[in-house]
Amino acid sequence: MTDAATNAAHDVGAPGDPILVAIDGPAGSGKSSVSRASADRLGFGILDTGAAYRALAWIALQAGVDLDTEAAVVQLMDAWAFSITMRGEQRVTVGLAGAEPIDATAAIREHSVSGQVSRVSKHPVVRERLNEMFRELVAASGLPGVVIEGRDITTVVAPDAPVRILMTASAEARASRRAGELEGLSHAQVLADIAARDAKDALVVDFFNPAPGVTLVDTSDLNFEQSVQTVIDIVEAVRLPAGKSE
């Protein structure tokens, strides 16, 4: 499925696998930036699963595939190659069989791609295939720990992770953050985009009610440093007792 996965057959949470910190949350909740900073300070790797969905949507658009047809997207996945760095600056490369991989790091972040992601993420088989790829990437990472963030992480991808966090924030707070990141878009436009994306996401995932055993972190009234420290504190609370028992 991917070169990085090297066909690893480990289940997440098996002996010898990295310590997992699973973080779910809607767009604008801070999960991506907070997850990356937390991973760096913990000495862990970071797996941004949203980048894979973006990369799949991007390559499908490049190939002229109908994003709304599950069979067509799944067929594309049989031929695509995806790789992502888990330490340092994020680099994403995407390719199709018989073609040179392309550095799509910047392209997948374009606003035109963001609006298409839900068209591929809504397909159950696509999500199942990507979730399996995420498990393989983590198992083959060789890292002591991995913060894995995105959608379905706490409930489907890594339901047995020792740390599972649902990071959320009000729509207003998320719109304010995103408006500062996206040039040319007003707060009202970003708020409307977030509301539309929340509605689409709600059809396949619950980003606002934590599953049993998942810790809810609401960042609406937290600044960046406070959000990062909250995650680190949750991880250390789980790690320290284990360390003392060794």
Q: How many angstroms separate the first and last alpha carbons of the chain?
A: 37
The answer to the question of whether 141 is labelled as a binding residue is no
The answer to the question of whether 72 is labelled as a binding residue is no
Which residues make Cβ contacts (< 8 Å) with residue 57, sequence separation at least 6? 67, 108, 113, 116, 117, 119, 120
Strands (E), the chain: 19-24, 45-48, 80-84, 92-96, 102-103, 145-150, 163-168, 215-218
Long-range CB contacts for residues 61-67, cutoff 8 Å, separation at least 24: 61/113, 61/116, 63/96, 67/116, 67/119, 67/120
The answer to the question of whether 25 is labelled as a binding residue is yes
3-state secondary structure of 54: helix
The answer to the question of whether 27 is labelled as a binding residue is yes
Q: Which of 121, 153, 122, 136 is nearest to 55 (CA)?
A: 121
Across 175-209, b (16+ Cβ under 10 Å) vs e yields: bebbbeeeeebeeeebbebbeebbeebeeebebee
The answer to the question of whether 26 is labelled as a binding residue is yes
* 92-96 sheet: strands from edge to edge: 80-84, 92-96, 102-103
Binding residues: 25-33
Binding residues for ATP: 25-33
